[in-house]
Amino acid sequence: MLALAGCGGGSKNAATTSATTTDANGCVSVPQPPSKSTKASKPKHALDPAKTYLVVIHTNCGDFTIKLATKTSPETTASFANLAKTGFFDHTFFHRIVPGFVVQGGDPTGTGQGGPGYSTVDKPPAGTRYTHGLVAMAKTGAEAPGTSGSQFFVVTEQDAGLPPDYAVLGTVTKGLATVDKIGNFGDPSDPAGTPTEIVEIEKASLVVQ
Domains and CATH numbers, the chain: 50-208 (2.40.100.10)
Reference 101, options 132, 137, 129, 127; nearest CA is: 132
Q: Which CA distances in Å does 159 have to 37, 51, 64, 131? A: 33, 29, 20, 4
Q: How confident is the model at residue 16 (pLDDT cuts 50, 70, 90)?
A: very low
Overall average pLDDT of the 105-116 stretch: 96
Q: How many CB atoms lie within 10 A of CB 194?
A: 12
pLDDT of 3 over the 90 cut = no
pLDDT of 12 over the 50 cut = no
Alpha carbon distance 131, 129 (integer Å): 6
Which pLDDT value is given to residue 37? 84
| Mean pLDDT for the chain overall | 91
Overall average pLDDT of the 51-66 stretch: 98
Burial bucket for residue 145 (CB in 10 Å: 0-12, 13-18, 19+): middle
Overall average pLDDT of the 183-188 stretch: 95
Q: How many CB atoms lie within 10 A of CB 209?
A: 7
Which pLDDT value is given to residue 168? 98
Question: pTM to 2 decimals?
Answer: 0.88
